[in-house]
């Protein structure tokens, strides 16, 4: 079994980049990223990406993410910068004290290449690149449809859209994490769970990289879990910070895939877990389930790390980076 | 109706009816105060602590008087000494530490603190702010305090078993602070709990916090609770069980689409109704605000109605904030006169 230490994407902006971007872009809704930033702003993003990749290298993480310094709207970013989407008022990001622009889809979600461009730039800075994208179901819940006409059509369109984006990722991308918090925070109706899994499958089919579906703030319903196990993804992710018992029950009862991703570091608390504590959490999970031999265990925070101040974010990276390697 | 409300009716009030007018708390800071803060923060500047205190005193006096000039019955100083509603208090409570700013949205950040040890009452939080404001005010002064549930929810918890335990300890500290404020003469305290509306399942925790907060506080001290954002239907009628005299709600922003929530069962507290929108940078007309006030009269009779903006107005341009307050007072006095003359009859339904 190999433990791969990695993270879920969106990072806090380094202090210098935060201050410079605030000065260059402003603090209001209309000042958020649009996808056609001026060169001086793009230069700050490039420096921030370099900084965030250096921090991951220093922490010795096995897979490095791009850091998503441009993602002003958290998971809604790919839509917020799309030409067929208009952004409206500031709305709450899940049950957090964070907000993003409401993306209203007004036309076909054609391929944009926005994510691929950032990953291309990152691929020049690391040999172990991991991409992170929102899942189609979560994106459907974070956005407003003013074009496709039904929740089913909208979800399917988001699956196709994300597949198009993923397909254009550089070959250097080794893993794609698909973040799906809404799969845990909502109860999906009969049929909706199957459609969500199908949309994820569409995304997974678009790449040769390992695809990991990660949910958090709870875990999957039993039916949904079963549908996810039928997809072609490589691993399902479980939040062991907020839902360790429920997640373990699911795996005990229904099994999981050959690889697994475990949210073992609290992405929303400044208390920094020691490497020993993280190791214990992984071992605890393995002890609870009948078959504990996985090909790969991805060790991650349970959420994105942008909730943290920079010093604690860095400390969490180091704690995770102390993990990796092969195990018995 | 709370019996402690009449103490805020100004002497010689021209109408028989009385709609208590006030604000929620925060107000835009004069631009020179922000400049002064930058100077104070600059290690190369000669702008020292005494200069900074003088600037804050001047701003506090200025905004208190601005509230009086608008005609408000109960004033605050616009929270001129406070930077942010959690950070300000966390700096004064032992057990908190700061690690740096965290994102709220876009490039808007706040210095979210971490609780790293058992919280204890350190230096006084608001007594000197209250005493100064009261000394420069000719009207009664309200004291807004961030509530313990919000102080707990909007911090990182490294030290307590859970957020509930932290909130209860913080509630005991808030109680201690209010005792000091009452001893200093404060008669109107507003507990701000915006976090409640985002996590409605925790209303029982907020209720227990409030029980601790009001423990030993005399009945003539008016206690209000401000709750903004969110779906009120998930916390009403449970709000009525809270040991407070007044509930202060944000309803103008949603064009009163949640008003019916409060009609059944009967609203038994005093209602502090938001009648101007804190998130719209245009001044509502007096006529519009009169119509908004009448929305409140669908829920409570005039003797239970307080009139205020939806929320703190610190994000508005200052002239807009002032315009809203001025029109709010004019509208309230107009509605009082119409109630006196019988032109307007409360229409509870």
Q: Is B201's Cβ below 8 Å from some Cβ in A?
A: no
In this prediction, residues B155-160 reach a mean pLDDT of: 97
The answer on pLDDT for B1 being more than 90 is: no
Span of A18-27, A219-228, B216-225 with lowest mean pLDDT: A18-27
Position A292 confidence tier, pLDDT thresholds 50, 70, 90: low
In this prediction, residues B194-204 reach a mean pLDDT of: 84
Position A87 confidence tier, pLDDT thresholds 50, 70, 90: very high
Which two tokens mark A207? 């790449």
Complete DSSP assignment for A168-205:
TS-TTEEEEEEE-THHHHSPPPTTHHHHHHHHHHHHHT
Residue B144 CB partners (closer than 8 Å, separation 6+):
B24, B25, B26, B76, B79, B190, B192, B226
- Among partner residues B101, B104, B106, which is closest to A32 by beta-carbon distance? B106
For B303, other C-beta atoms within 10 Å of its C-beta total 15
Mean pLDDT score across all residues of chain B: 95
Instruction: Report yes or no for ipTM above 0.95.
Output: no
What percent of chain B stands above pLDDT 90?
88
pLDDT one-digit tens code per residue, A296-306: 999 999 999 99
Please state at what angle helix A114-123 crosses helix A151-167, rounded to 10 degrees: 30
Q: Is A34's Cβ below 8 Å from some Cβ in B?
A: no
- Whether residue A116 contacts residue A162, with contact meaning beta carbons closer than 8 Å, is answered with no
Span of A114-123, B229-238, B309-318 with lowest mean pLDDT: B229-238
- Among partner residues A72, A92, A270, which is closest to B99 by beta-carbon distance? A270
Indicate the pTM of the whole model: 0.89
Which of B98, B99, B105 would best serve as a mutation to test chain A binding (most A beta carbons within 10 A)?
B105
Which residue of chain A has the CA closest to B96? A270
What percent of chain B stands above pLDDT 70?
99
The answer on pLDDT for A180 being more than 90 is: yes
Residue A103 CB partners (closer than 8 Å, separation 6+):
A73, A76, A79, A80, A82, A85, A86, A87, A88, A142, A143, A144
């Amino acid at each position: 079994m190999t433990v791969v230490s990695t993270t879920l994407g969106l990072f806090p902006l380094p202090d210098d980049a935060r201050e410079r971007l605030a000065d260059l872009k402003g603090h209001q809704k209309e000042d958020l990223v649009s996808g056609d930033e001026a060169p001086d702003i793009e230069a700050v993003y490039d420096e921030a990406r370099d900084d965030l990749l250096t921090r991951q290298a220093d922490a010795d993480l096995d897979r490095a993410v791009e850091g998503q310094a441009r993602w002003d709207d958290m998971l809604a970013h790919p839509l917020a910068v799309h030409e067929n989407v208009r952004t409206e008022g500031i709305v709450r990001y899940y049950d957090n004290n964070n907000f993003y622009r409401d993306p209203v889809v007004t036309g076909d979600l054609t391929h944009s290449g926005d994510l691929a461009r950032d990953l291309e730039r990152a691929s020049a800075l690391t040999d172990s690149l991991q991409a992170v994208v929102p899942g189609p179901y979560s994106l459907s819940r974070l956005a407003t449809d003013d074009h496709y006409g039904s929740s089913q059509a909208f979800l399917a369109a988001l699956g196709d859209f994300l597949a198009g984006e993923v397909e254009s990722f550089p070959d250097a991308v080794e893993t794609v994490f698909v973040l799906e918090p809404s799969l845990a925070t909502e109860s999906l109706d009969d049929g909706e769970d199957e459609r969500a899994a199908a949309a994820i499958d569409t995304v997974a089919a678009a790449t040769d990289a390992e695809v990991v579906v990660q949910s958090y703030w709870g875990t999957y319903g039993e039916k949904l879990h079963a549908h996810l196990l039928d997809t072609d993804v490589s691993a399902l992710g479980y939040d062991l910070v907020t839902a360790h018992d429920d997640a373990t029950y699911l795996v005990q009862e229904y099994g999981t895939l050959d690889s697994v991703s475990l949210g073992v570091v609290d992405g929303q608390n400044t208390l920094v877990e020691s490497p020993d504590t993280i190791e214990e959490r992984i071992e605890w999970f393995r002890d609870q389930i009948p078959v504990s031999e996985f090909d790969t265990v991805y060790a991650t925070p349970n959420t994105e790390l942008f909730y943290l101040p920079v010093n604690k974010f860095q400390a969490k990276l180091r704690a995770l980076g102390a993990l990796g390697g092969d195990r018995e | 109706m709370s019996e402690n409300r009449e103490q805020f009716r100004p002497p010689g009030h021209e109408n028989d009816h009385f709609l208590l007018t006030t604000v929620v708390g925060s107000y835009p800071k004069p631009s020179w105060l922000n400049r002064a803060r930058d100077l104070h923060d600059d290690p190369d500047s000669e702008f020292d602590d005494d200069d900074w205190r003088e600037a804050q005193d001047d701003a506090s006096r200025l905004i208190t008087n601005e509230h009086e000039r608008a005609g408000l019955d109960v004033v605050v100083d616009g929270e001129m000494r406070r930077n942010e509603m959690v950070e300000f208090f966390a700096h004064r409570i032992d057990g908190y530490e700061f690690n740096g700013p965290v994102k709220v949205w876009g490039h808007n950040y706040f210095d979210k603190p971490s609780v790293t040890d058992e919280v204890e009452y350190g230096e006084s939080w608001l007594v000197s702010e209250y005493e100064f404001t009261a000394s420069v005010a000719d009207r009664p002064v309200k004291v807004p305090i961030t509530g313990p549930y919000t102080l707990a929810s909007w911090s990182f918890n490294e030290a307590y078993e859970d957020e509930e335990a932290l909130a209860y300890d913080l509630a005991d500290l808030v109680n201690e602070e209010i005792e000091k404020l009452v001893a200093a003469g404060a008669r109107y305290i507003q507990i701000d709990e915006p976090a409640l509306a985002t996590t409605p399942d925790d209303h029982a925790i907020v209720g227990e916090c409030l029980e601790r907060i009001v423990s030993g506080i005399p009945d003539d001290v008016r206690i209000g609770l401000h709750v903004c954002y969110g779906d009120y239907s998930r916390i009403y009628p449970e709000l009525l069980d809270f040991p407070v005299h007044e509930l202060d709600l944000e309803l103008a922003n949603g064009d009163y689409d949640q008003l019916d929530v409060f009609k059944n069962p009967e609203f038994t507290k005093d209602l502090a109704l938001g009648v101007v929108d804190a998130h719209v940078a245009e001044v509502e007309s007096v006529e519009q605000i009169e119509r908004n006030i009448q929305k409140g009269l669908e829920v409570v009779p005039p003797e239970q109605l307080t009139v205020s903006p939806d929320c703190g107005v610190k994000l508005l341009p200052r002239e807009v904030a002032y315009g809203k307050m001025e029109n709010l007072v004019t509208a309230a006095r107009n509605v009082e006169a119409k109630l006196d003359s019988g032109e307007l009859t409360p229409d509870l339904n």
